[in-house]
Structure 1
Amino acid sequence: MITQDWLTDAVLYIYALSLLFFVSDAASGNRKAKKAGTGLLVFVWILQGAFLLSFLIERFSVPQLTTKDYLFFVSWMLVSVSFVLNRLIRAELLVLLVNVVGFAVLALNLIQRPKHTAALEPWEVARRLLIMHVSLITLSFALLTIMALLGAMYLFLHRKLKTKKWTHVMRNMPSLEWIDRYAFRLGAIGVPLLLLSLSTGTAALILDHDPGKLFDGRVVLSFMAGLVYIFYLLRKMGAKDDGKRLAIWNLLGYALLVVGFFIGSSSSFHQVV
């Protein structure tokens, strides 16, 4: 057993098996493999939803948010979004990449079983603001993760087309125009959510009479990421940059977010100890 718990092990194994079916479909166009992978993924989504519901019930009366809860919700949301993508558009490789990221988040979360906590402030107003902050940042992070995957796909496909090196994987990828368009649409939703989350978090710190935490490394990097994303949206709307440069700005903003998330050891805001 991986996690010393048969139910969480089952989720990981079924999730991994579903990814193998999706890889088979992406590599050889096996429709039956895609259907099997989708069916297994639905089962994983249901189990994750049950876990998440139990977490929410357990935390409902306790003003405390664990890193495990947050990452679990991100993984569940990525699986949910992959269903929408799989239903509405033909982008098998993007669906596969989204689920690979979701599996990695879930696996690291369950295997490591972090006990780190991020205590919410006890005052009612500040606590509600922080709950709103966490909800918004979680949703925006999921959308911006998919946006970053599209950016990486754009750079990969652009390089292959420029060097005229055609591969079988490229058959399952949408066009550069499609990738660029949908990356912008995700950014148009995810970036405002990120900015709203930052504003609510800032308001909570001000109510705490501790504005000094605004200079915390995690907060600074998050605001820097927000500025990069705003720059990306403005350059895209003004048609100032080509798709390749926009994809680089996209990935730079996401890299700042990820670095900010993992600097918990030196961060005092939502500190992970």
Structure 2
Amino acid sequence: MAEVRWIYDLTIFLYAASVLFYFNDFLQSNRKVNRMAFGLLVVVWALQSAFFVSQTIMKTYFPVITLFETLFFYSWVLVSLSLAIHYFFRIDLLVFFTNIIGFVVLVMSMFLPETPIVAVSSVLQSELLLTHVTLAMFSYGAFSLSLIFSGMYLLQHKMLKERRWTPLLRRLPSLDQLESYAYRMNMLGVPMLLLSIVLGIIWAKMVLPDKFMLDAKVVLSLIVLASYSFWVYKRYRDTMPIRKMQIWNILAFALLLINFFGANTSTFHSWW
């Protein structure tokens, strides 16, 4: 493990530098600094990918089981989405805000053991379970982008209402675009989370007692799915004011975080 630890440490260092450059661009709108930040982000993605592959080889399973592994994978998903956003949409502020989340997630993983305290059993190496967790992390990535779009919407709405014609306002997409992007991200996230939950239930039916449906994370996951599904339904039916929908979206993400970090009380949903 020590021979690849330097990749992880270098990743955090370069990720911090990239976020700082993006922050400088956020304050001063400096294109040269923005290009440097993006270049560093590409290197971060390459290093994260190399570290992830090395973990997969050494652990002989797809490393998304422990809290360290899932946080690292979640951060990788956010960096990957950032690169895709830069290529297709060129929304620099979205890349900046996305990588604030990605960097915080990666820093959190620093305080966790890289290897599980006990050996990962063959039951936990099931392809169904690994697909369940992987899909959940990708849905979290989509919901993270949706959260940022909603936050940017509320920020721009407030600035327009107060008639604050600042350079920041000119760098934000239109309200219609922000609302549409949030909708698209949730349209991606909801089916991925649904499929993740279905696969998790199928796996649990095979290896766990019948009472697994009463587990706190299972119940909260269903509530999170219902919250986002309700948001998508209301958006499709156009029966709720857009501003209230963005607030609902932010609250749904807060519930998602509670589910991810707080509902880990059972023997099969606890991080070791």
- The aligned counterpart of 2:68 is 68
1:189-208 equivalent positions in 2, closer than 5 A = 189-208=188-207
- Residues 205 and 21 from structure 1, CA distance in 2 versus in 1: closer, same or farther, beyond 3 angstroms? same
- Which whole-Å CA distance do the structure 2 matches of 1:174 and 1:63 have between them? 37
- Which whole-Å CA distance do the structure 2 matches of 1:114 and 1:122 have between them? 19
- Residues 41 and 7 from structure 1, CA distance in 2 versus in 1: closer, same or farther, beyond 3 angstroms? same
Deviation, 1:160, is 2.1
- Residues 80 and 152 from structure 1, CA distance in 2 versus in 1: closer, same or farther, beyond 3 angstroms? same
- The aligned counterpart of 2:269 is 270
- Which whole-Å CA distance do the structure 2 matches of 1:160 and 1:118 have between them? 52
1:244-255 equivalent positions in 2, closer than 5 A = 244-255=243-254
Is it true that 1:165 corresponds to 2:171 in the alignment? no
- The aligned counterpart of 1:57 is 57
Structure 1: where are the runs of 5+ without partners?
none
- Which whole-Å CA distance do the structure 1 matches of 2:19 and 2:121 have between them? 40
More displaced 10-residue stretch of structure 1: 176-185 or 104-113: 104-113
- The aligned counterpart of 2:174 is 175
Is it true that 1:84 corresponds to 2:84 in the alignment? yes
Aligned residues of 1:117 and 1:272 also touching (Cα < 8 A): no
- The aligned counterpart of 1:43 is 43
Question: Percent same amino acid among aligned pairs?
Answer: 34
Aligned residues of 1:82 and 1:95 also touching (Cα < 8 A): yes
Deviation, 1:62, is 8.6
Deviation, 1:267, is 3.7
Q: CA RMSD in A?
A: 2.4
Deviation, 1:127, is 2.2
Aligned residues of 1:144 and 1:186 also touching (Cα < 8 A): yes
- Which whole-Å CA distance do the structure 2 matches of 1:257 and 1:178 have between them? 24
Q: Give the residue type in structure 2 aligned to 1:26.
A: F
Cα deviation code 1:128-168 (max 9, x no counterpart): 22122111111111111111111122222222222223433
Is it true that 1:155 corresponds to 2:154 in the alignment? yes
- Which whole-Å CA distance do the structure 1 matches of 2:155 and 2:112 have between them? 32
Q: Give the residue type in structure 1 aligned to 2:16.
A: A
- Residues 257 and 211 from structure 1, CA distance in 2 versus in 1: closer, same or farther, beyond 3 angstroms? farther
| TM-score (ref. length: structure 1) | 0.89
- The aligned counterpart of 2:142 is 143
- Which whole-Å CA distance do the structure 2 matches of 1:70 and 1:253 have between them? 20
- Which whole-Å CA distance do the structure 1 matches of 2:204 and 2:227 have between them? 23
- Residues 232 and 101 from structure 1, CA distance in 2 versus in 1: closer, same or farther, beyond 3 angstroms? same
Q: Give the residue type in structure 2 aligned to 1:216.
A: D
Is it true that 1:240 corresponds to 2:239 in the alignment? yes
- The alignment partner of 1:266 has SS state of coil
More displaced 10-residue stretch of structure 1: 52-61 or 71-80: 52-61
- Which whole-Å CA distance do the structure 2 matches of 1:14 and 1:66 have between them? 24
- Residues 69 and 62 from structure 1, CA distance in 2 versus in 1: closer, same or farther, beyond 3 angstroms? closer
- Which whole-Å CA distance do the structure 2 matches of 1:193 and 1:153 have between them? 24
- The alignment partner of 2:65 has SS state of strand
Deviation, 1:265, is 4.9
- Residues 164 and 108 from structure 1, CA distance in 2 versus in 1: closer, same or farther, beyond 3 angstroms? same
- The alignment partner of 1:65 has SS state of coil
Q: Give the residue type in structure 2 aligned to 1:97.
A: F
More displaced 10-residue stretch of structure 1: 172-181 or 211-220: 211-220
- The aligned counterpart of 1:25 is 25
- Which whole-Å CA distance do the structure 2 matches of 1:214 and 1:120 have between them? 23
Aligned residues of 2:55 and 2:63 also touching (Cα < 8 A): no
Aligned residues of 1:65 and 1:118 also touching (Cα < 8 A): no
- The aligned counterpart of 2:185 is 186
Deviation, 1:68, is 1.1
1:122-137 equivalent positions in 2, closer than 5 A = 122-123=122-123, 127-137=126-136
Structure 2: where are the runs of 5+ without partners?
none
